[in-house]
Structure 1
Amino acid sequence: MPRFLTLADVCEQLQISTAQAYALVRNGELKAIQVGGRGQWRVEDVKLEEYIQASYARTERMVAENRSLQNPR
């Protein structure tokens, strides 16, 4: 896998739309850089993996919180 991915590559890997990928970059959830005269976005492969791992952690917390709300002790 190349070190840097295009947003099209990110869209394919995450199975999301281009608009969703741009939103992730714009709001800072997914770290990216702009390169070249046209300012095309590139995402480093490790940054995509960090985003995926953070998403797993966020989901785990959400599931645990919902479980505790449904089953109060």
Structure 2
Amino acid sequence: MVHHAAGEPIGRFLTIADTAEVLAVDVETVHELVLSGELPAIRIGDRGPWRVERSQLEVFIEMRYESTRREVAWNEGEFGNVIEFAGVRPGGLRPVD
């Protein structure tokens, strides 16, 4: 379980500050991710604080890993091994030209 710096466990919903701590970024970065819709969050009340669900944060992190993997593969010229880049359809068949 993730814990605050003070040692107490973090619950289901994280504050923007908690989320920034988990991601090791500043609060402004998390706020921008939330406002852009890239990091799903809910607002408590009409003008209340934002909260990020831990499961959504984990999905966001996994998506970032996948994005990085694809970027590295593309930059290294290994995109021929990546199905999405190689034009391989499910089942392993290449489209006929």
Q: Shared fold by TM > 0.5?
A: yes
Using the TM superposition, give the Cα deviation of residue 65 of structure 1 relative to its aligned residue in structure 2, in angstroms. Answer: 0.2
Bigger radius of gyration among the two: 2
Q: Which runs of 4+ in 1 moved over 4 A?
A: none
Would you say 1:16 and 2:15 are equivalent positions?
no
Q: Which has the higher contact order (CA 8 A, sep 6+)?
A: 1
Letter of the 1:30 partner, please give it.
Answer: L
Counterparts of 1:37 and 1:27, CA distance in 2:
18
Q: Secondary structure at the match of 2:39?
A: coil
The number of residues matched between the two structures is 69
Structure 2 regions of 5+ residues with no counterpart?
A: 1-9, 79-97
Match of 2:67 in 1: 58
Match of 1:31 in 2: 40
**Greater helix share, structure number:** 1
Q: Secondary structure at the match of 1:68?
A: coil
**Greater strand share, structure number:** 1
